[in-house]
Amino acid sequence: MAVKELSQIERQLAILRRIPTEPQKVTVNDLIEYLESSHNLGNLSKRSIQRDMAMLERVFGVHVKTMGRENYYYFPQGSHISLKKMGPDLALGFLLMEKYTHSLLPEASLDALAPYFKEAKLALKNEKYKYADWEKRVAIYPKVYPLEPAKFNANHLLDIYKALLLNKQFKMNYTKKGGETKDYIVNAQGVVQQEQVSYLIATYDGQKAEGLIQFAIHRINDIEILDSQPKQIAGFDIREYLEQGGLDISLYQEQNLELVFNKPTAQHLNETPLSKDQQWTELKDGRVRVTATINITQSIKWWLLGFGDQVEVIKPKAFRDDMKKTVQGMMELYCRNSK
């Protein structure tokens, strides 16, 4: 096989890719061996690689530690080398990711992304882009009151992701709502975050009833990844699971919802419909009738109750009766405790 020749810049880029992050380190001899084996290079002089390393130290911040008569090269923890400058749009994307997905990403992933977050902050401080105060101008805010997120052990989430990636079962100790603790051999299917709580979607060995179980990750006390493979649900897709109401309680089989809103209250449904087949009809009394085919769940009921007397449920009748009973119960409660 013919020996290749690389230009100086090609050789230095190849060297950059080989330099590890501390605590790992490489020597000039390690780099020569790497270039010879991976790039089929020959006749490399130690002196030329030493000159390369001197330039890389100066330009890219490669660190060197001398032990005895040997130099050891490495990048410090948290460093990140980018040959293309990060633009403001990409930088803003990284910082929004850091701000709003922090509770979903495992600690190891956040650590790996930390250099990119740091570079993004520096990019947005560039006077040219005037993004220095972006945090004062960009936010995601829920319509419901933003509760404090449930606190959980980040290592538990990382272990769950490892089990999913490696296709392994794991044993976990879990505290139920009533306070009882129990051990489970778990077949993880997925992870989902709902508002301020992250859930493990899984089955477990010895489960009596069929179906998926939602385990709140903050109630997990301990996890041990096993060598055994999990029992997978054929064709499972976390998006389909959620669309079918996996994390919500379906109240009725009937899905034809009919509501009558005060027009100003319903106006936002013209821009953000309840469903693709939503129909909007203006009534003679100034209100509007909204019909849609949706899965009527517990969260839909809570959402409608938030409108108070600005909405009336017409159909299905069972849902109307349920809302009426709830409103009557509220009236009795407030009248009983009024002075």
> Could you tell me if 131 and 64 lie in one domain?
no
pLDDT band of 170, cuts 50, 70, 90 = very high
> Could you tell me if 124 and 174 lie in one domain?
no
SS3 call for 61 = coil
Q: pLDDT at position 270, please?
A: 86
Query: What is the DSSP secondary structure assignment for residue 42, as one 8-state letter?
Result: -
Cα distance between residue 339 and residue 337, in whole Å: 7
% pLDDT > 70, the chain: 83
Q: Per residue in 102-158, pLDDT tens?
A: 666 666 667 767 777 877 777 777 656 566 566 676 766 666 666 677 788 878 888
> Could you tell me if 124 and 194 lie in one domain?
no
Q: pLDDT at position 257, please?
A: 95
Q: pTM of the entire structure?
A: 0.57
Q: Considering the domain boundaries, does residue 128 fall inside one?
A: yes
Q: Considering the domain boundaries, does residue 174 fall inside one?
A: yes
Q: How many domains does the chain contain in total?
A: 4
Q: Considering the domain boundaries, does residue 251 fall inside one?
A: no
Q: Per residue in 201-243, pLDDT tens?
A: 999 998 888 888 889 999 999 999 999 999 888 888 888 888 7
> Could you tell me if 128 and 176 lie in one domain?
no
Q: How far is CA 62 from the centre of its chain?
A: 32
For residue 294 the two structure tokens come to: 């949706």
Domain boundary residue, one of 198, 213, 243: 243
For residue 202 the two structure tokens come to: 């899984």
Q: Considering the domain boundaries, does residue 249 fall inside one?
A: no
- Domain extent, residue 298, equals 256-336
Cα distance between residue 95 and residue 113, in whole Å: 10
Cα distance between residue 328 and residue 335, in whole Å: 10
> Could you tell me if 261 and 310 lie in one domain?
yes
> Could you tell me if 238 and 288 lie in one domain?
no
Domain boundary residue, one of 51, 74, 97: 74
Residues linked to residue 291 through DSSP beta bridges, in sequence order: 258, 279
> Could you tell me if 59 and 132 lie in one domain?
no
> Could you tell me if 178 and 112 lie in one domain?
no
**CATH of residue 284:** 3.30.70
Domain boundary residue, one of 243, 277, 302: 243
Q: Considering the domain boundaries, does residue 103 fall inside one?
A: yes
Q: Considering the domain boundaries, does residue 36 fall inside one?
A: yes
Q: Considering the domain boundaries, does residue 149 fall inside one?
A: no
Q: Does position 73 have pLDDT exceeding 70, yes or no?
A: yes
Q: pLDDT at position 286, please?
A: 92
Q: Per residue in 174-186, pLDDT tens?
A: 999 888 999 999 9
> Could you tell me if 161 and 238 lie in one domain?
yes
> Could you tell me if 239 and 260 lie in one domain?
no
Q: Considering the domain boundaries, does residue 25 fall inside one?
A: yes
Residue found by looking up tokens 């009527």 in the block: 296
